[in-house]
Structure 1
Amino acid sequence: MPVSDRYRPDPRHPALGDRFYDPVPAARFPRHTLRFRNDRAAARIGLDTLTDEEWVAHFGRFEPLPANIPEPLALRYHGHQFQVYNPDLGDGRGFLFAQVRENGAPDGRLLDLGTKGSGQTPWSRSGDGRLTLKGGVRELLATEMLEALGVNTSQTFSLIETGEELWRNDEPSPTRSCVMVRLNHSHIRIGSFQRQAYLGDTDALAALLDHAAALHMPEVAAIDDRLERAAAFVEAVGRNTARTGAQWMAAGFVHGVLNTDNILVTGQSFDYGPWRFMPVHDPGFTAAYFDQTGLYAYGRQPDTLMWNLTRLAESLLGLSNKDRLTEALRTFPDAFQTEMAEAVTRRLGILRGPAEEDEALISALFTAIGQAQIPFERPFFDWYGGALSQGRAQASPHAKVYDGDAFAPARESLIARPPRPEVDLSHPYFTGREPQTMLIDEVEALWAPIDVADDWAPLLAKVEKVREMGAALGNG
């Protein structure tokens, strides 16, 4: 197999022991039709040199990668689902397939190749362990858009249609099937710690903490005192989570299912089901049709993340104490405010200012565009680079909003701020008339030709346009 010399296998999860996973076989599918391979992501881990046949062998039939995990591992965890505890969770239609070191990163961080739709496991309960093709397409579109917008997200690595007919209550059925592989920065969740706390296995809890810290937070692993190490771990997870949560808010993104088993300790966003991007700024905007109370609405995402972090702290009570863990949780609100300022000003292509001025800008911007109900993405496109784009903003279909009194505080701040060094308005993206978006109607329009005529050209063209936007924003 022509893996390149940039391929660096480093399977670490098996060393934790079988308290944390179940070895499982991959499903045998009747067909393997390669629909998408992410060579940009593959180049980061030395797998871009695989032929299509080899790609299907590893990411469709799941033949082990060289010197890697010999048999897939379905990970064990618990979690709060819509804030109701569920002790019957675990990887029910996915598994950890391989772990590799990233190339081109100073720390050579450890990345996981995990699956979705790869078959039944001991945790499938009554599920079939499969993924609909539409679900795979939706995750591909979410990850590409989020990456382009600078969000710390998993990447859709591979999408292979598998030739089965699936029945689902929320899709016209029968519907087509696929198996997806994602590239993740860890698969260790808040729910991974909840499971060990629920079982009362303090030794396993400590082993998991030490493992996660050693791989992802060396500054935490270096702390000798276990009580302090557990608290520092909560602080680190809080900072990681605050960064990603702020990036969602700046992107107008609603994850939709912020259960504790969907929150990774690295903070990376993953596992996209009923996600949505907001058409206009609306704190009450929800993604999931089944979220009837708006628990995971756009405006409630920061509070939900804090609630989830509190569940992590509770899980670690056996390794620390309540007062120190409560203190550790206080890291999140300040971190979120700082990260929100960074995320919004980065999206606007302007430099940060004093904290109170950043907060005032964000409030003025979101209030004005919410009142005017202009498309959420529009001001980030029209005003990218601040004063450098004043002429572009005046040529926008929403120029009257920008010239109005309600927008004046945001306008004055945008004009006063220096642009970030990476701003390049000569990029072809900024000569266009419209920003790239990924609203639900667009997603449905991209799925329709695949569903009706097996035409993938519009979807692949959209991916290229989104990547062009990412390059223009310095996220390519």
Structure 2
Amino acid sequence: MPVSPAYRPDPRFMRLGPDFADPVAPADFPARILRFRNDRAAASVGLEGLSDEEWLAAFAGFEALPDNQPGPLAMRYHGHQFRVYNPDLGDGRGFLFAQLREAETGRLLDLATKGSGRTPWSRGGDGRLTLKGGVREVLAAEMLQALGVPTSRAFSLVETGEALQRGDEPSPTRSAVLTRLSHSHIRFGSFQRHASEGRADNIQRLVDHAAEDYYPELMPREGGDRGAGLLALAVQASARLVARWMAAGFVHGVLNTDNLNITGESFDYGPWRFLPRNDPNFTAAYFDQTGLYSFGRQPEAVFWNLQQLAACLALVAEENALVEALNGFSAAYRRELTAAMLNRLGVKPRGDDEDVDLVNAAFRALASGGEPLRWEPFFFDWFCGETARALKGPRAEIYANETFMAFRERLAAFEPDRPERLADPYFAQGEPEELLYEAVEGLWAPIDQADDWSAFEAKVAAIRAAGAAWRL
């Protein structure tokens, strides 16, 4: 297999042993049709030189990569799902396929799957992924990356030639297997499994694994102090993640403890949505009847999940140290949200009070715009504090209201950050790139009806161009 010198295999997770994962075999798919190949991500781990045939052998047949994990591992975990504890979880339609180092940063990354077949944790499911679900995950990951959100990257999408039955979309529907590149699949629920079994030894092994492979600054610490340190770092990373979601107007939809990881990187995109407009009650999942994971409640949901992680770490760490770590979330979230919003507005910070005043004014302005003002155009119009663009654009009438006057006055006091970005052709467009529900459905329709992938491919290219312009 023609890997480049940047390819650095480092299969670390399998060293934890049989208490943490189960060897599984991938499904034998009747077809292998390559639909998406992320060569940008592949170059970051030395796999861009694979031919399409070699790519399909690796990411549809799951033939082991050179000097890497010898076979797939379905990871074990438990989790709270909508705050109800479920001990029957685990990788039910996916597995960890390989681990390798990112060329530029040296970070340990996972290649893991979705839709790769049944495992011991499938709970009666077919272990498959719909092609539409795979398309949606590619789009979500691309848009979040463009907006500067810590996210897994969709690495490969292969159509697999099976007709799947689903209760929430027209069936039979087409099947696919997705491979994602992510910085850790160690979930909060990974700790919950061992806590439920009273296995403090396994929790400590996970803590040590996390310290060695993701947070080396914890290595000088020992035992419980290392566990409390891990929680403190997970709190900071999670605060940054949810703040970036909020600035991006993103609603994950299913913030269960098995969908959050210790490195604070977003992954596993199911019923996600981007906000059409500012609405704290907006939900992504049709089954979220109470709005538990609505847009405005995402910080609360993430903090609740961190509390469940802390309860597990209490088996190996001192309670006071864990409480202190949790108490850091609120300040970290406020700090990260302020930074994320200033990034999105394209201005340099001036100082805590002034920065917070601007962010609060931005949220009030977004709310005052009402139905006509969409989330993404607001940031597009006011990027780098460029008043002239906003007041000459298609939303000039909205920006004339009194609430926007207060926002404009505060924004005028800020210095643009890298204003040369406005010279990018992206900002000469009348409208920004968005990824609203109707647009995603519109991209799926030609694939479903005519196997026409041109609109999807054009959208991915346009999102990447927007990301290059934002440079967040």
Same fold (TM over 0.5): yes
Partner-residue secondary structure (3-state), 2:163: strand
Deviations 1:128-159 (A, max 9, x none): 00000000000001001100011000000000
Corresponding residue of 2:196 = 198
Structure 1 position 422, deviation (Å):
6.6
Corresponding residue of 1:10 = 10
Corresponding residue of 1:56 = 56
- The answer as to whether partners of 1:286 and 1:297 remain within 8 angstroms in 2 is yes
Corresponding residue of 2:294 = 297
- The answer as to whether partners of 1:246 and 1:336 remain within 8 angstroms in 2 is yes
Deviations 1:443-474 (A, max 9, x none): 00000000000000000000000000000011
Return the TM-score normalized by structure 1: 0.98
Code of the residue aligned with 1:453 in structure 2: it is A
1:95 lines up with 2:95 in the alignment: yes
Q: Give the percent of matched residue pairs that are identical in Structure 1 and Structure 2.
A: 57
Corresponding residue of 1:461 = 458
1:424-463 aligned at under 5 Å gives the runs: 424-463=421-460
Corresponding residue of 1:287 = 284
1:267 lines up with 2:264 in the alignment: yes
Deviations 1:93-115 (A, max 9, x none): 0000000000112xx00000000
Code of the residue aligned with 1:377 in structure 2: it is E
Corresponding residue of 2:323 = 326
- Whole-angstrom distance in 2 between the partners of 1:22 and 1:353: 52
**Root mean square deviation, CA, Å:** 0.9
- Whole-angstrom distance in 2 between the partners of 1:263 and 1:122: 22
Code of the residue aligned with 1:49 in structure 2: it is G
Cα–Cα, structure 1 residues 423 and 250, in superposed 2: closer, same or farther, change >3 Å? farther
Of 168, 171, 183, 2:169 maps to 171
Partner-residue secondary structure (3-state), 1:97: strand
Corresponding residue of 2:364 = 367
- Whole-angstrom distance in 1 between the partners of 2:30 and 2:69: 24
Structure 1 position 42, deviation (Å):
0.2
- The answer as to whether partners of 1:423 and 1:473 remain within 8 angstroms in 2 is no
Structure 2: runs of 5 or more not aligned: none
- Whole-angstrom distance in 1 between the partners of 2:36 and 2:114: 15
Corresponding residue of 1:378 = 377
1:42-81 aligned at under 5 Å gives the runs: 42-81=42-81
- Whole-angstrom distance in 1 between the partners of 2:257 and 2:114: 18
- Whole-angstrom distance in 2 between the partners of 1:209 and 1:221: 10
Deviations 1:227-255 (A, max 9, x none): 22211111100000011100000000000
Corresponding residue of 1:126 = 124
Code of the residue aligned with 1:416 in structure 2: it is A
Cα–Cα, structure 1 residues 260 and 422, in superposed 2: closer, same or farther, change >3 Å? farther
- Whole-angstrom distance in 2 between the partners of 1:358 and 1:291: 34
Corresponding residue of 1:29 = 29
Deviations 1:398-418 (A, max 9, x none): 212222211122111222111
- The answer as to whether partners of 1:361 and 1:409 remain within 8 angstroms in 2 is no
Code of the residue aligned with 1:152 in structure 2: it is P
Structure 1 position 219, deviation (Å):
1.3
Code of the residue aligned with 1:402 in structure 2: it is Y
1:241-252 aligned at under 5 Å gives the runs: 241-252=238-249
Corresponding residue of 1:346 = 343
Of 202, 215, 218, 2:216 maps to 218
- Whole-angstrom distance in 1 between the partners of 2:353 and 2:232: 24
Partner-residue secondary structure (3-state), 1:14: helix
Deviations 1:61-111 (A, max 9, x none): 000000000010000000000011001100000000000000112xx0000
Structure 1 position 371, deviation (Å):
2.2
Structure 1 position 423, deviation (Å):
4.6
Deviations 1:214-233 (A, max 9, x none): 11111122213x22221111
Code of the residue aligned with 1:466 in structure 2: it is I
Of 302, 308, 313, 1:311 maps to 308
Deviations 1:318-376 (A, max 9, x none): 11122221111011111111110111111111112222222222221112221222101
- The answer as to whether partners of 2:394 and 2:430 remain within 8 angstroms in 1 is no
Deviations 1:408-443 (A, max 9, x none): 221112221111137511101000000100000000
- The answer as to whether partners of 1:385 and 1:423 remain within 8 angstroms in 2 is no
Corresponding residue of 2:147 = 149
- Whole-angstrom distance in 2 between the partners of 1:2 and 1:325: 47
1:238 lines up with 2:235 in the alignment: yes
Partner-residue secondary structure (3-state), 2:402: coil
- Whole-angstrom distance in 1 between the partners of 2:32 and 2:224: 50
In the alignment of these two chains, the number of paired residues is 470
Corresponding residue of 1:84 = 84
Code of the residue aligned with 1:26 in structure 2: it is P
- Whole-angstrom distance in 2 between the partners of 1:11 and 1:329: 31
Corresponding residue of 1:116 = 114
Moved more, 398-407 or 371-380: 398-407
Moved more, 156-165 or 313-322: 313-322
Moved more, 351-360 or 82-91: 351-360
1:390 lines up with 2:404 in the alignment: no
- The answer as to whether partners of 1:383 and 1:414 remain within 8 angstroms in 2 is no
